[in-house]
Structures are given as C-alpha cells and as structure tokens.
Structure 1
Amino acid sequence: MTFRPSLFPSTFLGGFECSTQRRRDGRRLDLIAGTRHDLMAVEDYRQLVEHGIKAARDGVRWHLI
C-alpha cells in the first residue's frame, strides 16, 4: 500500500457564505457583510481551529473589485 498525503490538513473544510447576488429590486445582498465575516474574520478562523478544522474556503466580493 502506498501512502498518499491528504490534500487538506483536516477531514472537514470550513467555509463562509460569500454570495453577492442582486435582488429583483436592484438591491445587492453582500452576505460577507451580512454575517460580519468582513469584520470578524480573525475570530471566525480562530473558532474553526478551536473545533479542529484546519482548512477553509473563503469568497471574494467581486462587486468591490
């Protein structure tokens, strides 16, 4: 049997909602701001580590780029 290292350092992958869709009325929903991940990212990642989650996916706020 050949040992293959795991792609990710933990079994579970964390993630943060990052949708930025526009509603029918034209209002944009920015869920990174809505969940305060833009302000609380350091704390969010600390909590992942606290629960043994060592990998996460994050989003890009394309409407701000």
Structure 2
Amino acid sequence: MKLNDWLRLIAGVFVLASVVLGATVHPAYNYFAAFVAANLIQSSFTGWCPMMALLRRLGVQE
C-alpha cells in the first residue's frame, strides 16, 4: 500500500473506533474523532499531516 492508502486507512480506523467507543463506553471518545477530523481539515489547507510524517519515517512508500 502507498502512503495515501495508509493514511486513509488509519484515519478511518481511528474515527470508527472513537465513534464506537463514544456510543458504547463514554461520549468523551467523540472528541478523539473530532481531533482526527480537525487534523484532516488542517492538512488539506497546509499540506502537512503529522501521520504522514510518521509514516514516512517508518519507511512507507509514496
């Protein structure tokens, strides 16, 4: 998988997990979904994403 594929997978898993946890464990987990969404919005404007920087360091191919 390429870098963008990994990024979409990780973001989707994080959002899905936080929504499920927010519905079943505690509503405060929804703040994590909002945090992921804010990072995605921020990266669309700036072109920089913390998760992409981490994935590049881990050697994921572009």
- How does the TM-score come out when normalised to structure 1? 0.35
User: If you compute each CA radius of gyration, which structure gives the higher value, 1 or 2?
Assistant: 1
TM-score, normalised on structure 2? 0.36
